[in-house]
Chains A and B, each alone.
Chain A
Amino acid sequence: MTLTHRLYSCLLVLAMIALAAPKAIAESPLLTLTGAVDGGQVEILRSDLDALEWHEIATSTTVTDGRPLFRGVLMRDILALAGARGETVTARALNDYVIDIPVSDFHEFDVIAALYMDGTALTPRDKGPIWIVYPRDDHRVLADIRYDTRWVWQLVALHVQ
């Protein structure tokens, strides 16, 4: 476990070094927060996420087999980073999938904004760049269609209100 853990960390560092030079000039935002956030709009860059604490969740999902290992940052950490003040987050995906998520979800459960699944970076051709992942196997209540619809993939924007 610790070995794979370290391997992931090494890969991550290597990726960061490789990506840092060309992307430093015009790094496009991964996620845009609007509404009740600092200054009305906050753009989250990859480097902002790298500065946060990363977490892992191994959980079953409704659209894959097995229990993939997801890696990302806590949703509540992202909201705190943007200074979000509100009770509901309207999440929007690349394909304009829109859903309201109560902010309380992020405090009750360790919901992460996953950037990696089984060590592979998520891309728009899969469910990336960001997939909201709930710790479904750790809480029985989460195994429910009402929570399943909040697993937004290809997440690009959050509107806080």
Chain B
Amino acid sequence: MMRLTRPLRYGGLAALILACIGLLTVAAVNIVRIERQMQISATENMTWIFGQTQIEALNLAAALSSDADPAEVQLRFDLLVSRLNLLRDGPQWRFLSEAGLAEGLMGWRDGLLALDPAEGGDRAALAAHVAALSTALRGKASRVMSREWQIQSERLDSLGRLHLLALATVLGALISGTVLAALLIDRERRLIRSTMDQLRAKQLERDLDQERRTSEGYRRFSDLIAHQVRTPLAVIDSAMHRLTRPGNPPSPEIIRAKAEVSREAVARLVRLTDTALLMARVDRGAVEPDLACHDLDRIAAAAIEDLHESARALKTGRVILGSGNRPVTAICDPVLTGEILANLLRNAFLYSPPGSDIDVRPMQDGELAVCDISDRGPGMTPEELAVAFEDFARGARHRDLPGSGLGLPLARHLARLQDGDVTLAPRAGGGLVARLILPGAVTT
């Protein structure tokens, strides 16, 4: 349907444009023709020319009858001849011939010349000839005038026709121009409407995508809760069960051991809750970083200390803070940065074999402040690295390890909030290097 109507519509537009141009050209040609026809030529003054001839004939007749001196008669004779000669010239002669008035005129002239007073022509015969000529001219004068007006009227008619034609073509051009304009406006309106529809569709698609991601997130979250909340609860339940078992009362050592296990399980639950809550705040944009220059060494040291306190029972190994000679200053929010480092450190602990070392190295890299956390764990496969920062994405191999699956995405979110980032890379010699990158400040 569309394929058929489109060439049709373009063809229509082209035809309209051509019609406009064609009509305007015709109008222009007509106007030029009108302009050309509007010149008045002296030939159209035939009434005057003929009248002058008549007057000269009368003047000569008067001179002859009043017994004027020969010079005056000669002058009048010459003038009459000159008028008759003028009538004999091209345009005037054509006018008279077309009007049927030329006949006999030159006979009168020849008769006149035969009686030329300069050559001793008979004055009485001349007088008679001129009197007859006057009468003949009088008879033609009115017809000359009528012929002239006829020509003028015909010319005006022709001008009128040309004028009407020009007017009609201009009107036609106006109409096709209006239709053209209406079509173009309609097309423009449709174009805008379709653009708006496209934008709306894109928006809807985005919204739907967002909705899908959110629901996928909820699904993973419920999975996670099912798994990660049940494990510590099972640990606590088992401890309580042991302590309240009938029979021999438990020894103080057993009670302390079970209490420690239970507390640790509770701590895990609290951490899980805290992480989920913070992630939710980040998600809805409620976290505003308070950016300032801070010593990254000090933030790292504090994060390590907190971790040692909360995870004393793990006793998995030691964290070595490798500070350089120069202080590393980062433009960051210390609380958020501490949270990032804590997350990265917990991950390092979680995946490291017991007793292995974890290196923490803050350093300045050009204009960036960087902190590397290297563990000696199993590292990650390229596939795992590719999805490591997605919410609730936990390696299949580590499904049973405690953790929210939100640690890395949260760390990256928090880093990006501070114009930084978190990246992961394999460590040379095995393990993983998690790198926090923050905007650095040049120390003075």
Chain A partners chain B? yes
Residues of chain B contacted by A126 (CB below 8 angstroms):
82, 85
Q: Please, which residues of chain B bring their CB within 8 A of the CB of A124?
A: 75, 78-79, 82
Q: Is the interface of A mostly helix, strand, loop or mixed?
A: loop
Give A65's nearest chain B residue, CB to CB. B90
- Picked from B56, B81, B90, the residue with its CB within 8 Å of the CB of A95 is B56
Interface residues on A, range: 10 to 19
Contact (Cβ within 8 A) A127 B39: no
Interface of B is mostly: helix
**Binary contact track A86-116/B, C-beta < 8 Å → 1, others 0:** 0000000011000000000000000000000
Binary interface profile of B, 75-91, with partner A (CB < 8 Å = 1, else 0)?
A: 10011011001100111
Residues of B that sit less than 8 Å from A by CB: 39-43, 52, 55-56, 75, 78-79, 81-82, 85-86, 89-92
Min distance, Cβ A136 to any Cβ of chain B, angstroms: 11
A144 to B43, CA, bound (A): 12
Instruction: Point out the residues of chain B lying under 8 angstroms from A65, CB to CB.
Output: 89-91
Q: B-contacting residues of A (Cβ < 8 Å)?
A: 62-66, 94-95, 123-127, 143-145, 148-149, 153-154
Residue of A nearest to B83 (CB): A95
Rounded to whole Å, the gap between the CB of B96 and the closest CB of chain A is 13
Return the contact of A145 from the options B41, B78, B81, B85 (Cβ within 8 A): B41
Whether the pair A64, B91 counts as a contact (CB closer than 8 A) is: yes
Taking CB atoms, residues of chain B closer than 8 Å to A94 are 75, 78-79
For the complex, give the distance between the alpha carbons of A127 and B41 in Å. Answer: 19
Contact between A63 and B43 (Cβ–Cβ < 8 Å)?
A: yes
Contact B92 A63 (CB under 8 A): yes
User: Once the chains are docked, how many angstroms separate the CA of A137 from the CA of B79?
Assistant: 28
Q: Are B42 and A125 in contact (CB under 8 A)?
A: no
Residues of chain B contacted by A154 (CB below 8 angstroms): 79, 82
Contact B82 A63 (CB under 8 A): no
Q: How far is the CA of A66 from the CA of B91 in the complex (A)?
A: 10
Q: For residue B371, give the distance in angstroms from its CB to the closest CB of chain A.
A: 91
What CA separation (Å) do A64 and B42 show in the bound complex? 11
Chain B residue contacts of A63, Cβ below 8 A: 42-43, 86, 89-92
A124 to B78, CA, bound (A): 6
Q: Apart from A65-B89, A66-B90, A148-B42, what are 18 other A-B pairs with CB-CB below 8 Å? A: A62-B41, A62-B43, A63-B43, A63-B86, A63-B89, A94-B75, A94-B79, A95-B52, A124-B78, A124-B82, A125-B78, A125-B82, A126-B82, A127-B86, A144-B39, A145-B39, A148-B41, A149-B42
- The answer for the CA separation of A32 and B424 in the assembled complex, in Å, is 118
CA distance A94 to B91 in the complex (A): 23
Residues of B within 8 A of A127 (CB): 82, 86
User: B79 to nearest A CB, angstroms?
Assistant: 5
Instruction: From known contacts A95-B52, A124-B75, A126-B82, infer whether A143 and B92 are also in contact, taking CB-CB under 8 Å.
Output: no
Question: A149–B42 Cα gap in the complex (Å)?
Answer: 8
Contacts of B40 in A (CB 8 A): 145
Q: Give the docked Cα–Cα distance between A46 and B180 (Å).
A: 72
The smallest beta-carbon distance between A33 and chain B, in angstroms, is 21
**B-chain residues with CB within 8 Å of residue A64 when the two chains form the complex:** 89-91
Tell me the smallest distance from the CB of A145 to a CB of chain B, in Å: 4
On chain A, the residues within 8 Å of B81 by CB distance are 125
**Which chain B positions have C-beta within 8 A of A125?**
78, 81-82, 85
CA distance A129 to B89 in the complex (A): 18
Closest to B56 in A: A95
Nearest CB on A from B148, distance (A): 14
Residues of chain A within 8 A (CB-CB) of B82 are: 124-127, 153-154
Which one of A64, A149, A153 has the highest number of Cβ atoms from chain B below 10 Å of its Cβ?
A64
Contact, CB under 8 Å: B79 / A62: no
Residue of B nearest to A148 (CB): B42
Q: CB distance A95 to B42 under 8 Å?
A: no
